[in-house]
Structure 1
Amino acid sequence: MAEFEVATGASGIPGGDDRGRRAAVQTAFEGLLQIRRLMNADAADPEGVPAEWERRQPVRAVALALEAAGVPPSATDAEGRRTATGYCLGAAEGAGMVRVEWLGPPGSGAGYAAEDALRNCAAVLRRLGWEALEYRGPRRHRYLEVEPTPAGPSRR
């Protein structure tokens, strides 16, 4: 069985038909929640605390959380041109942090939609125990920096 490939928005969308992809994402996300329940059994809300696996692979974990919530990933073609509007993830400057951007093809209006779209991303991630702060870069480009909340039962 092939390893599940997350959609980071930095390349093409992983293969499969839409329904098959949705089922694979949901199965992977349910697996992640099960890992959380097992690893965070002493937490008040075990599903609301990122597990150690997520802390070691934050880009994969954030991508899975966003796609499972129905947030679309961006995508590029073989030449690197943006072909879809959605989230695009990459490592942020801080260790264990993820940068979330809202990108799309030229003329897609992604820049105008970024504020609301990133707020939605932040809300999804906060419900799952991630801290998400919005920033503005050059030319007022909006993005989020995301990191897992501190571990431990005292958090909640």
Structure 2
Amino acid sequence: MSAPQEGGFEPATGDGPAVPDASGSRAGEVLTAFEGMLQIRRLTRAEASDPESVPAPWELHRPLRAVALALEAARVPSSAVDASGQRTATGYRVSEGEAPGSVRVEWAGPPGSGAAHDEEEALAGCAGVLRRLGWTALLYRGPRRRRFLEVEPRSSSPAPAASLGDGTGIVRPMREA
């Protein structure tokens, strides 16, 4: 058994040490954190038809943590680095995205691991997990033709009601004058 973490539970981002075996105490910590996230969604998004599929306000303020938790709870393997910063495991790596409030998800691994070959299928799996949980995940091709996901919360409505001018909140097609 490992000692409890001093700062509380932290989901794997793919930039830390290898995550312990998923069948041990870590699995219980992940499950508890994920169930807590779903409960917060049910309480704060009760007006939604499916509150568990809408990110909670805290997730919008800490999207990297929320995305990492969602992936780890789905048992997607995370990448890892050793003390010298060298990749030691193949899996997801989450980092801040280019746009505010967005997260970048990459499929990373040690040299020769085949991570680049596996990334399209692996990232498609990550995107599926995240979409079910209310995130928009768009696949891009970056430097050296490596793929990555840009993840952000799904828009709750197509357009803000204030821009419609009628106060109903119903989006209607605009007619040209």
1:75 corresponds, among 57, 64, 80, to 80
Residues 19, 78 of structure 2: 8 Å contact kept? no
Residues 5, 14 of structure 1: 8 Å contact kept? no
In structure 2, list runs of 5 or more residues that go unmatched: 158-168, 170-177
- Letter aligned with residue 142 of structure 1: R
Residues 59, 65 of structure 2: 8 Å contact kept? yes
- Letter aligned with residue 143 of structure 2: P
Give the secondary structure class of the aligned counterpart of 2:24: helix
- Letter aligned with residue 136 of structure 1: R
2:119 corresponds, among 114, 117, 126, to 114
TM-score by length of 1: 0.93
Equivalences, count: 153
Cα shift readout 1:49-75 (whole Å, capped 9, x = no counterpart): 000000000000000000000101100
Give the secondary structure class of the aligned counterpart of 1:43: coil
TM-score by length of 2: 0.82
Instruction: Give the CA deviation at 1:11.
Output: 1.8
1:145 corresponds, among 144, 150, 157, to 150
RMSD, aligned CA: 1.7
Determine which structure has more spread, i.e. the larger CA radius of gyration: 2
Cα separation, partners in 2 of 1:55 and 1:109, compared to 1, 3 Å: same
Residues 108, 115 of structure 2: 8 Å contact kept? yes
Q: Which has the higher helix share?
A: 1
Relative contact order (C-alpha < 8 Å, sep 6+): which is higher?
Answer: 1
Q: Identity rate of aligned residues, in percent? A: 60
Over 4 Å off, 4+ runs: 14-18
